[in-house]
Amino acid sequence: MAEGHISYRLGADNKKSYFYRIPLPPGTDGKRRSETKRGFKTERAAQQARTKRLAEIAASGYAEQSKLTLAQYSEQWLEFQKDRVTLPTHLNYGRMLRLHILPYLGAARLQSLRAVEIEQAWARLRREGRSVSLIKHVHGVLSNVLNNAERLDLIAKNPCRRAKLPQEPREIEEDDEEEVRALTVAELQQLLATARGWLRPVLLIALATGMRRGELLALRWQDVDLDACELRVRRTVQWVSGHGLVFGPPKTKKSRRTIALSPLAVTELRRLKGEQAAQRLALGPVWDDHGLVFPGKTGCGRNPNRVSESWRRLGEKCGIACRFHDLRHSHTTFLMAAGVPDTIVSGRLGHKTSRITREVYQHMLPGMQGDAAAATDLLLQRLLEGEK
């Protein structure tokens, strides 16, 4: 890059005011560009500033000096993302920007945004009661925005890389473990005995597979092989306000998985498939067939939020405080207590690594290991009695 030049102009008082001008690479439109900085009282001051600016450009690449604010650029970035991400993800990006980023940083000039300002914004969010996990998610969205600005040479470096995130207090980390709760055998027996209609098979298959709520409600018969005793998780569904049910692929590659089915699960699914075939014939053209394993009354998908609400009411009826996701926790802890290897459990759950499985569930095992030991003792007693 050429070093440019230094010049001056005369003011109203006939005094010289120096400036430098540096030629820049052509823009995306092919037009020539330059960067000018004015207001230096001496030629030496202008020379020093030019030398410093040339060194900055050489070290980190050119970042176009612009009055573009973070709010203005975020709007452009969000529009650009429409065809690159799923609808729920796009809506989430917009919500994070609107609620947690732009109110604190939106007026800042994109080119001058610093790591310290980002840290101050996250500290404000913490003081306002936002969780560390939310702030990490918000930080990731902002980092995506600024990575794109860096790629387009609108900024020299993404300041998110240097900004430190707030840390979760130790006591909150320990309390988080209480959110992972496995239902006892007695509780599950009571829930199964009380469940009626469509909720009972959903409960059984959730417990038998450890699938997430969205995965279960998006499951199609074409992804179930009853002869091979397995099913494939290929989709998930969520309710998006203003858009209704939105089906899409799981977020990670590991979530796309094959799960082996127990004989009891296969029997339940065969029964359900036959029941659906009769219902389809009875309703005729009213049935809107989407091939779902757990459809609504006329074949359409079920709202996951309403399924959770039905589950909550079932729990209240049984006097059991529980969430639908606790079925997944129950499936996992029963497998681990029975000695199933972490890698197998992790594969069934769709976790990225078996380390995640161990960290989330290991603290629950001491009590369940006693149940597993008691079950083993009962089995040995039966075997010994058979030898007599």
The pLDDT of 148-164, averaged and rounded, is 89
Lowest mean pLDDT among 56-65, 188-197, 251-260: 56-65
End-to-end CA distance of the chain: 94
Q: Which of 80-89, 106-115, 338-347 has the highest mean pLDDT?
A: 106-115
Task: Encode pLDDT of 52-66 as tens digits.
Answer: 877 766 655 555 556
Residue with tokens 């960290």: 359
Residues contacting residue 8 through CB under 8 Å, at least 6 positions apart: 16, 17, 18, 19, 43
Please, which pLDDT band fits residue 351 given cuts at 50, 70 and 90? confident
pLDDT surpassing 60 at residue 297: yes
Which stretch of 55-64, 146-155, 307-316, 369-378 has the lowest confidence by average pLDDT? 369-378
Amino acid at 143: S
Contacts of 272 (CB under 8 A, 6+ apart): 201, 293
Residue-wise pLDDT for 58-90, tens only, equals 655 555 556 789 999 999 899 989 888 888 889
pLDDT at residue 194, rounded to an integer: 92
Distance in angstroms (rounded) separating the CA atoms of residues 141 and 138: 5
pLDDT of residue 383: 61
Domains and CATH numbers, the chain: 5-60 (no CATH), 70-168 (1.10.150.130), 179-380 (1.10.443.10)
Q: State the chain's maximal CA–CA distance in angstroms.
A: 118
- 3-state class of 108 per DSSP? coil
Per cent of the chain over pLDDT 70 is 83
Task: Determine the pLDDT at residue 170.
Answer: 41
Three-class secondary structure of residue 10 per DSSP: strand
Beta bridge partners of 37: 20
Average pLDDT, the chain: 83
For residue 35, which phi and psi values (nearest 5 degrees)? -120, 130
Average pLDDT on 316-341 reads: 86
| Helix, coil or strand: residue 324 | coil
d(CA 127, CA 150): 30
Instruction: Read off the pTM.
Output: 0.58
State residue 10's pLDDT score.
85
Angle of helix 263-283 versus helix 199-209 axis, rounded to 10: 150
Neighbour tally for 90: CB within 10 Å: 17
Backbone phi and psi for residue 292, each to the nearest 5 degrees, phi listed first: -80, 145
How many helices, marked H, and strands, marked E, lie in the chain? 16, 8
Which pLDDT band, with edges at 50, 70 and 90, does 352 fall under?
confident
Helix or strand or coil: residue 65? coil
